Amino acid sequence: MKYEKEIERRKTFAIISHPDAGKTTLTEKFLLFGGAIQTAGAVKSNKIKKHATSDFMEIERQRGISVATSVMSFEYKNMLINLLDTPGHKDFAEDTYRTLTAVDSVVLVIDSVNGVEAQTRRLMEVCRMRDTPVIVFINKMDRDGKNRFDLLEEIENELKIQLHPMTWPINSGKDFKGVYNLHDKSLLLFTANTKASEENSVVINDLGQTLLEDKIGHNDANKLREDVELIDGVYGELNSTDYLNGKIAPVFFGSAINNFGVKELLDTFIRIAPTPRSRETTKREVSPAEDKLSGFVFKIHANLDPKHRDRIAFLRVCSGRFERNKYYHHVRLDKDFRFSNPYTFLARSKDIIDDAYSGDVVGLFDTGNFKIGDTLTEGEDFYFTGIPSFSPELFKELVNKDPMKTKQLEKGIRQLTDEGVAQLFTQFGGNKKIIGCVGELQFEVIQYRLLHEYSAACEFRALPFYKACWITSKDEKKLDEFTRFKQSNIAEDKDGHLVYLAQSEWFLNTERQNNPAIEFHFTSEIHK
Ligand code: G4P
């Protein structure tokens, strides 16, 4: 247990939300509290603006921002917090899903006016797959939002998670007066654009006190008493084990833009959020306190300079200590590598680091040796499990426009898919290359990058598929028959796993019914 002290002070998490709910704003407030930035407006949104004149300029702008903001590390009350950024555009959702495999918990931001939105649902599904602990922040209480009891019910039903209010709001919109902290029994009065030191907090141990009337008026005082009685009766004390197991999500109300309710959230976060935990591998469970290093690559970022193919591979350290210039074992390539310039994300010095511990993320300069899911160890052979590929939603055939550049095209597409920009499938029995993406923008990115970075011109031909399902069976013969019979719908992913490409839900359901011996999976774990 050499590194226990280091592990106990680390919390690695992500803020997730449907676009526009307030993720960037909340991130910025967290960094202000952590002293990592000094002024508001310092965190650039990594969203692709809806009305941008050219999406491309936006993509490039975003790529520029996103290396710097991929991991934001800061210290707060002696804890070291690693905040992992996730892309703001839904077309890059897969990147977000993978980042979620590298965190130990998440803060989910919900817009109090819009409630649960499409992306909120999908992100929560991913969290549920790994029982990731979730804290909910209901934002924009300064706007006329939904009735909070209805909102909680909506979140519980739609996201299939039990909630536990930690603060309770007094009205919303222009009547918003603040929140009552149910945990430490204090009243936090709303003022716009609060600075941490100026928070207007009043301790009210007994809600019967007339001080409450003095602060928020007769009607609201009575309403709050009723609400709190109801909440106490229903929820009681937070069970932190249930939170850590991803069964209960504590809820905070606030307004990120006004820096209101954010400190309560951050203080509770550092108190209850998990420190790095043990992780499953293909061989055994790995504890963060083990002496020997292990970690996995969850993201690869291409260099902005097209003349240099250098990339940065993001390694999440899972055990031991990462040291500069020490040799580590790359399990898939069965080769040892050392890294002389590992990149740190500690905001105080975006510089080369000498060491890192469980929970930290290290940026490794890479010339093409890494792909997502790769593991580094000190010699042992295993892979971390639970890093899935999700079914893309759009499929297009990749057509080579310049036969003289076939090699470049193949290399480019292989490297881009290693980076996780898109998924590559090869049609069974032929060699038609099918690219699967989550959004249209990704196709544009691929075409643009193939041309600019690999001088390979391509175009895409739409294919009528709607989902890719990985197929397996205990009965080899049945699987063989199915793949031969359905040849035009069968492909291999880039690791050689069989995939069924369904034209529609109807086809998929029919095939599932007609072929009970075949299992259809909506995600493929890179390593099982
Ligand atoms: P995102 O990263 O989740 O996509 O959201 P972001 O923080 O960019 O916030 C989306 C919009 O919501 C922004 O306005 C932001 O100012 C606003 N916002 C964030 N928190 C609050 C809040 O507590 N109350 C209110 N009323 N608004 C909030 P925008 O007009 O889209 O951008 P900007 O021009 O202000 O940058």
Ligand 1, closest atom to CA 17? 3
pLDDT band at 55 (very low <50, low <70, confident <90, very high): low
With a 6 Å cutoff on the Cβ, whether 21 touches ligand 1 is: yes
Ligand 1, closest atom to CA 18? 3
Whole-number pLDDT of residue 16: 93
Using the mean position of ligand 1's atoms as its centre, give its distance from the Cα of residue 111 in Å. Answer: 10
Contact in structure between 250 and 243 (CB atoms under 8 Å)? yes
Strand, helix or coil at 475?
coil
Using the mean position of ligand 1's atoms as its centre, give its distance from the Cα of residue 89 in Å. Answer: 15
For ligand 1, atom 19, which residue shows the shortest CA distance? 22
pLDDT band at 50 (very low <50, low <70, confident <90, very high): very low
With a 6 Å cutoff on the Cβ, whether 44 touches ligand 1 is: no
Percent of the residues in the chain that have a pLDDT greater than 90, as a whole number = 58
For ligand 1, atom 17, which residue shows the shortest CA distance? 22
Q: Give dist(CA 380, CA 283) in Å, integer.
A: 10
With a cut of 90, say whether residue 245 has pLDDT above it: yes
What's the pTM? Answer: 0.87
Whole-number pLDDT of residue 53: 41
Using the mean position of ligand 1's atoms as its centre, give its distance from the Cα of residue 174 in Å. Answer: 17
With a cut of 90, say whether residue 44 has pLDDT above it: no
Residue to mutate (ligand 1; options 46, 142, 257; most atoms within 8 A of CB): 257
Tell me how many helices (H) and strands (E) the chain has: 14, 31
4-176+239-272 CATH fold: Rossmann fold (3.40.50)
Strand, helix or coil at 513?
helix
With a cut of 70, say whether residue 59 has pLDDT above it: no
35 vs 402: which has the higher pLDDT:
402
Q: Give dist(CA 496, CA 507) in Å, integer.
A: 23
Whole-number pLDDT of residue 89: 67
Ligand 1, closest atom to CA 139? 23
With a 6 Å cutoff on the Cβ, whether 45 touches ligand 1 is: yes
With a cut of 60, say whether residue 196 has pLDDT above it: no
With a cut of 50, say whether residue 326 has pLDDT above it: yes
Ligand 1, closest atom to CA 25? 7
Strand, helix or coil at 13?
strand
Percent of the residues in the chain that have a pLDDT greater than 70, as a whole number = 88
Whole-number pLDDT of residue 45: 57
With a 6 Å cutoff on the Cβ, whether 20 touches ligand 1 is: yes
Ligand 1, closest atom to CA 27? 7
pLDDT band at 347 (very low <50, low <70, confident <90, very high): very low
Q: In the predicted model, what is the mean pLDDT of residues 171-197?
A: 84
108 vs 53: which has the higher pLDDT:
108
How does the average pLDDT of the chain come out, rounded?
87
Strand partners, 89: none
Ligand 1, closest atom to CA 255? 23
With a cut of 60, say whether residue 100 has pLDDT above it: yes
Ligand 1, closest atom to CA 88? 4
Residue to mutate (ligand 1; options 16, 17, 25, 44; most atoms within 8 A of CB): 25
Contact in structure between 81 and 107 (CB atoms under 8 Å)? no
CA-nearest of 291, 299, 269, 262 to 418 is 299
| 467-503 residue pLDDT tens | 999 999 999 999 999 999 999 899 999 888 999 999 9
91 vs 496: which has the higher pLDDT:
496
284-377 CATH fold: Elongation Factor Tu (Ef-tu); domain 3 (2.40.30)
With a 6 Å cutoff on the Cβ, whether 46 touches ligand 1 is: no
Q: In the predicted model, what is the mean pLDDT of residues 52-74?
A: 62
Residue to mutate (ligand 1; options 16, 17, 18, 20; most atoms within 8 A of CB): 20
Using the mean position of ligand 1's atoms as its centre, give its distance from the Cα of residue 25 in Å. Answer: 6
pLDDT band at 379 (very low <50, low <70, confident <90, very high): very high
Ligand 1, closest atom to CA 19? 4
| 118-176 residue pLDDT tens | 889 988 988 998 899 999 999 999 999 889 999 999 999 999 999 999 999 999 999 99
Q: In what order do the strands lie in the sheet containing 423-427?
A: 458-462, 394-400, 433-437, 423-427, 490-493, 498-502, 467-473, 518-521
| CATH number for the domain running over 394-527 | 3.30.70.3280
Domain ranges for the chain:
4-176+239-272, 284-377, 394-527
**DSSP assignment string, 350-393:** -SB-SEEETT-EEEEEESS---TT-EEESS----BS--EEE--S
With a 6 Å cutoff on the Cβ, whether 392 touches ligand 1 is: no
